[in-house]
Amino acid sequence: MTPKVFTKLLSLLVLLLVLHTLVMEFVFRRLVEHSAGVDLHLLGREALWSGLIALAVAIPIAAWVASRISVRLRRVVSFARSIADGDLSARLDQPGDDDLSAMEAALNQTAERLGRSFAEIESRRQELAAMLDSMQEAVVAITPEGYVRWSNAVMQRIAGTQIRPGRTLVHSVRDPEVLACVRGALENREVRFGRASSLAPGRIFEINAAPLPSGGALVVLHDVTRIEAAEKSRRDFIANVSHELRTPLTSIQGYVETLVEDPNSNPETTREFLAVILKNATRMNRLTEDLLALASVESPDYKLTLQPARASALVHDAIQSLGGIVVDSKVELESSGAPDALVMADPDAMNQVFGNLIENALKYGDAGKRIRVGARLLTSEAATEVQFTVQDFGPGIAFEHLGRIFERFYRIDKARSRDSGGTGLGLAIVKHIVQAHGGRIWAESELGSGAQFHFTLPLAPAAVGEKTAPPNA
């Protein structure tokens, strides 16, 4: 195209020069006609020569001018191509102050503005992508034809490599509820809500699919697994509490009604009935006490008064203060030894922990006739801590119950637990107290050989790294 422009410019200049020569010859002819005695042919030849000389001088000049313009135009064309290819850093030289230079300056300015606008758009796009990636919700944008346009990091984590821009949503996400909501949003141009349970194993998502003004749809998936689990746990808890309260209450109501209806019943029966009423009232009282204790240790405001205490002293105190309840049962409560290492512990909370564990050992493991309480230093790669153990030699706990006995209201033998005044909340309370200390709790058992309840407490800061005394016998 540019050589064409060059040729056209050159042809135009040559045409102008030929026209000029012809006009000059015509003027000369007219001049000669009016002036007598002048050699016409001589004048004509001179005019022709002068025209030819002018032509010979003008053609190279015209060619030079045309080639300069052509070079600059070629630069403009290559500049335009660079811009079209996305290279917004391309610029034109502006050699003079002619019209072409003004055009080049205007083009440079346009390219610079375009560059700035694109940089701004790109930085906004990156900001938006970072914002969407940092969201807890999964987000995916769909084209009007049902292809994935874009998805955020959470969505990519859920759908894995399946989700890619340009792929159909049907091939990226298999959950039928998600697909139905997207179809609704695309076809009816209205917001659709739903619940996806097969998007990721064991997880539940709330779906919100909204049509986009530019066509297509935006899908937001909110993970509600935890909320649903918490809600279920709350419902189960209320059902359990109601059930636990209703049983003794129904019994109390029945006995009281009988007593009211027959005020003259014999004193022996009345005493019997009153004893049952008292037993049930005590049970309700124990349940409400345990519920209050659990509410307190589960509360975010639960505060421990931590102070350094020797492991050996904690074990000693536990045996001393609980020795009383063991006396009648003919079960022996003994120490299996404990180091003098200093741990951080709240003395009242520790009484609660040992109280619950020893009481359980007594209630469920009394057949073994022996309960051992002790502690030892536990050194792992992560930390050094003290592991406390309450061990009985009773029937033990079957493996399938070991992980569950720390759940609220979980009891292996409900009737036995109730008969012995249990609420099923003791181990749940103990677990929370140990965890509030920064420790762990677990149970080990072999059926027929008794059960061991272990919990750990972190060492007091001063004791960390210090050589601790060997365990007491």
Ligand X SMILES: Nc1ncnc2c1ncn2[C@@H]1O[C@H](COP(=O)(O)OP(=O)(O)O)[C@@H](O)[C@H]1O
Give the residues lining the site for Mg ion (CB under 5 A).
360, 426
Of 90, 153, 412, 436, the one binding ligand X (CB under 6 A) is 412
Of 70, 143, 280, 423, the one binding ligand X (CB under 6 A) is 423
In angstroms, what is the minimal distance from the CB of 403 to ligand X?
Answer: 11
Which listed range, 5-13, 51-59, 297-305, 410-418, lies at the site for ligand X (CB under 6 A)? 410-418
CA distances from residue 405 to 208, 259, 415, 453 in whole angstroms, order as listed: 39, 39, 15, 11
Helix pair 40-84, 99-134: axis angle to 10 deg: 10
CA 17 to chain centre: 80
Which listed range, 3-11, 16-24, 192-200, 421-429, lies at the site for ligand X (CB under 6 A)? 421-429
- Token pair for residue 293? 């204790």
For position 394 contacting ligand X by CB under 6 A, the verdict is: yes
How many angstroms separate the CA atoms of 55 and 46, rounded?
14
- What's the start-to-end Cα distance of the chain, in Å? 104
In angstroms, what is the minimal distance from the CB of 407 to Mg ion?
Answer: 13
For ligand X, the closer of residues 341 and 434 by Cβ is 434
Of 143, 360, 389, 456, the one binding ligand X (CB under 6 A) is 360
For ligand X, the closer of residues 310 and 411 by Cβ is 411
For ligand X, the closer of residues 66 and 353 by Cβ is 353
Q: How many residues bind ligand X (CB under 6 A)?
A: 21
For position 433 contacting ligand X by CB under 6 A, the verdict is: no
For ligand X, the closer of residues 221 and 397 by Cβ is 397
What residue type is 66 in one-letter code?
A
Among 340, 343, 380, 315, which residue's Cα sits nearest to residue 467? 340
For Mg ion, the closer of residues 360 and 445 by Cβ is 360
CA 438 to chain centre: 25
Tell how strand 384-392 and strand 217-223 pair up.
unpaired
Among ligand X, Mg ion, none, what binds residue 466 when CB lies within 5 to 8 Å by partner kind? Answer: none
In angstroms, what is the minimal distance from the CB of 343 to Mg ion?
Answer: 24
For ligand X, the closer of residues 163 and 361 by Cβ is 361
In angstroms, what is the minimal distance from the CB of 343 to ligand X?
Answer: 23
H, E, C per residue of 325-377: HHHCCCCEEEECCCCCCEEEECHHHHHHHHHHHHHHHHHHHHHHCEEEEEEEE
**308 sits in which H/E element:** strand 307-310
For position 127 contacting ligand X by CB under 6 A, the verdict is: no
Among Mg ion, ligand X, none, what binds residue 411 when CB lies within 5 to 8 Å by partner kind? Answer: ligand X
How many angstroms separate the CA atoms of 72 and 48, rounded?
36
Q: Which residues contact 281 (CB under 8 A, 6 or more apart)?
A: 248, 252
Q: By rule CB under 6 A, what string of x and - marks binding of each residue 361-380 to ligand X?
A: x--xx---------------
**What are the start-end ranges of the H helices in 166-266?**
169-172, 176-188, 225-261
For Mg ion, the closer of residues 79 and 364 by Cβ is 364
Tell how strand 441-445 and strand 370-379 pair up.
unpaired
For position 427 contacting ligand X by CB under 6 A, the verdict is: yes
In angstroms, what is the minimal distance from the CB of 374 to ligand X?
Answer: 15
In angstroms, what is the minimal distance from the CB of 322 to ligand X?
Answer: 14
Of 184, 216, 426, 458, the one binding ligand X (CB under 6 A) is 426
Among Mg ion, ligand X, none, what binds residue 394 when CB lies within 5 to 8 Å by partner kind? Answer: ligand X
In angstroms, what is the minimal distance from the CB of 451 to Mg ion?
Answer: 12
How many angstroms separate the CA atoms of 195 and 186, rounded?
18
Express the helix, strand and coil content of the chain in percent, nearest 5 each: 60, 15, 25
Binding residues for ligand X, rule: CB under 6 A, are: 356, 360-361, 364-365, 392, 394, 397, 405, 410-413, 417, 422-427, 451
